[in-house]
A and B are shown apart, each in its own frame.
Chain A
């Protein structure tokens, strides 16, 4: 029943490792996003895909690479993890045919880099 689901919920890893976070939505939405929430709870957009095409790419290190195999999935791969990457990463989706439709967020993935 979960509308936007991300896995894993928690991810603890060491500096220098490569990790992926998966996201799937079953809402039939056209657009998916990755947002990062830092330790002060500030939320900032990282990427957005519409129908598998990258449409928003904020100033994010190129160690972060989103991949959208189809419009229901948007995965986030992070290479060479650094301490500063520790944060909560939220996947979201919206029905873009509805103008500025609300974002539906997943439950977040708490990434801890040690």
Chain B
């Protein structure tokens, strides 16, 4: 069975601090996908990144960066120089690969980390 653990329920930082959100996953699949989603106070779910299990390169997008380490089954998310607008709940999610099948993406979500960035 798949499982995603986000051990940090809430994190509070002051603007301009760097913050890392942890994500640890469990799966028996050798091929899988990892995602991060953001849920701001307005409630919508915003896709941030998708990473497959064969690509362990870290990724940077502006102030966001992701560190995928297969050896520790972790896919951590760092926000550099945080801003008030980064305040949201962040979800890590896992999906097993369905190569050649049209069976959709069954995402297993972590419980989310509430990030509050104070001015």
Contacts and interface: CB of A to CB of B under 8 A. Distances in A.
Q: Is chain B found bound to chain A in the same assembly? A: yes
Contacts, number: 78
B43 to A, nearest CB: 5
Contact of B43 (A50, A51, A102, A107): A107
Nearest to B99: A99
Contact of B47 (A103, A106, A110): A103
B25 interface: no
Interface residues of A, number: 32
Interface in B70-117: 89, 91, 95, 97-99, 102-107, 109, 111-112
A90 B107 CA distance: 13
A96 to B, nearest CB: 5
Interface string A20-45: 00000000001101010000111111
B50 interface: yes
Interface of B: 33, 35, 37, 39, 42-47, 50, 52, 89, 91, 95, 97-99, 102-107, 109, 111-112
